[in-house]
Chains A and B, each alone.
Chain A
Amino acid sequence: MTINPDQVINFSRTHRLQWEEAQQKNVILYPEGMVELNESSAEILKLCDGTRNLAQIVSDLEQKFSTSGLTNDITAFLEVALQNGWINQN
């Protein structure tokens, strides 16, 4: 499963991304399970809102953190996210 660069990316409707006060962490919630996210993963997933494709997500984040060269890391993470069903492209 790979990311289609032309299509926008959505966060899954059957998962929930949420800030957990008690853990001071963002988490993904799904039936009977939970994944704790580090800060950068959470930042990436928050941009998967059905309005941006891969290149737009990369450029938004590079701008936000005033850096460059994030393409590979972000693509790799999104591929894992896709395999886990956290995001989709349809």
Chain B
Amino acid sequence: MAGLIKTKPTPPRWLLAELTYACPLQCPYCSNPIDYTKYQTELDTEDWKRVLTQARKMGAVQLGFSGGEPLTRKDLTELVKHARDLGYYSNLITSGYGLTEEKIIQLKEAGLDHIQVSIQASSQELNDHIAGTASFEHKKQVAHLVKKHGYPMVLCVVIHRENIHQMPEILAMAEELGADYLELANTQYYGWAHANRDLLLPTQAQFEKAEAIAQAFKETVTGKMKIYYVVPDFYEDRPKACMNGWGTTFLTVAPDGVALPCHSARELPGLDCPNVKDYSIEEIWNESKAFNFFRGDDWMKEPCRSCDEKNKDFGGCHCQAYLLTGDMYNADPVCSKSPDHGVIQQAIDSAAKSALSANEKPLLFRNSKNSKLLS
């Protein structure tokens, strides 16, 4: 355990319930682990209810049902109802695939607060290509139905090199669909996105152009639509504050019951992430090795240890440090103070080279075949 626990940690506020790794889509930027096919077992309904109850008791209030595709779980409505009874604000994070009007009504009656629908692009051709499944028209229809049944409508578009040029059309589509919130999430390079980085990472010029367009649009829709813009950290010189501080706010529970301080923490070595089948949420949050691993700053090396910004970004993302430098105790290489900062430029150059090359390798889609092949 990294350091002694000096004060009692702040309680979790957000619970991300990854109900399943099953998904009919195949997005090449999916944040699920590459080797997700190794984790076939899923928690049952009673396990999930217990997790929800225990986390709520500690103070969790925002709840995300995600996956994979959470709609593939037959007990989703039952879990939503349980969440509502406990007083959670529940968010369904879905591709919209397979969502019917009947189900939308049923979930509303069970107490679901909002549905976030992801769309991959503003045109059918590109959407269906990226999703690896014909789904565009249905998604648009789902967005209308979500709105019709009185949910706040959150549209999420993950941005990368294949769709970044569609920014004006994406914004127009969000307006046409009547989105209350639009999440423009620049791809974060973990999981499948890491494997596909050469094909997904846009150039700095592309980023800047898209950001300026989004920014100008934002001003025209104040009061009507809120825009969440997830920054592309590869073009920043300071890292994002990892999970608002490790083990301070966020708790993710993976489909098989493994509790994670951040949804990609499964990729980090030696954390021994505990399973909710073996421990209570309180034990996991307060006492487990994994959740205490990067709490506070005892674990830090230089340049973070003596840095006066360490309370701002907590050294950045440990998963990114691990993926890009091989050592999770290093500063996030996005930081310009990191001795490994050069790897970011290398990644940018390598992606630019790939974009210019005549025989770019194809995108690696997220599906069981590829998962088995790579793990």
Contact = CB atoms under 8 A, between A and B. Distances in A.
A14 B61 contact: no
Contacts of A22: 11, 57-59, 61
A40 interface: no
Given A1-B223, A22-B58, A14 B89 contact: no
Interface string B89-125: 1010000000000000000000001101000000000
B326 interface: no
B61 A20 contact: yes
A1 B223 CA distance: 9
Interface in B30-68: 57-59, 61-62, 64
Interface in A13-61: 13-14, 16, 18, 20, 22-23, 27, 29-34
B152 interface: yes
A81 to B, nearest CB: 12
Nearest to B58: A22
A5 interface: no
B181 interface: yes
B342 interface: no
Nearest to B64: A32
A22 B180 CA distance: 29
B152 A29 contact: no
B151 A14 contact: yes
A31 B154 contact: yes
B151 A29 contact: no
A27 B87 CA distance: 12
Contact of A14 (B64, B87, B152, B228): B152
Contacts of B64: 32
Contacts of A32: 62, 64, 91, 116, 154, 181, 228
A83 B223 contact: yes
Contacts of B116: 31-32
Contacts of A20: 59, 61
B266 interface: no
B62 A34 contact: yes
B223 A85 contact: yes
Contacts of A14: 114, 150-152, 180
Given A13-B150, A14-B152, A31-B114, A85 B226 contact: yes
Given A32-B228, A34-B62, A83-B223, 8 more contacts: A13-B150, A14-B151, A14-B152, A16-B113, A18-B89, A22-B61, A31-B113, A32-B64
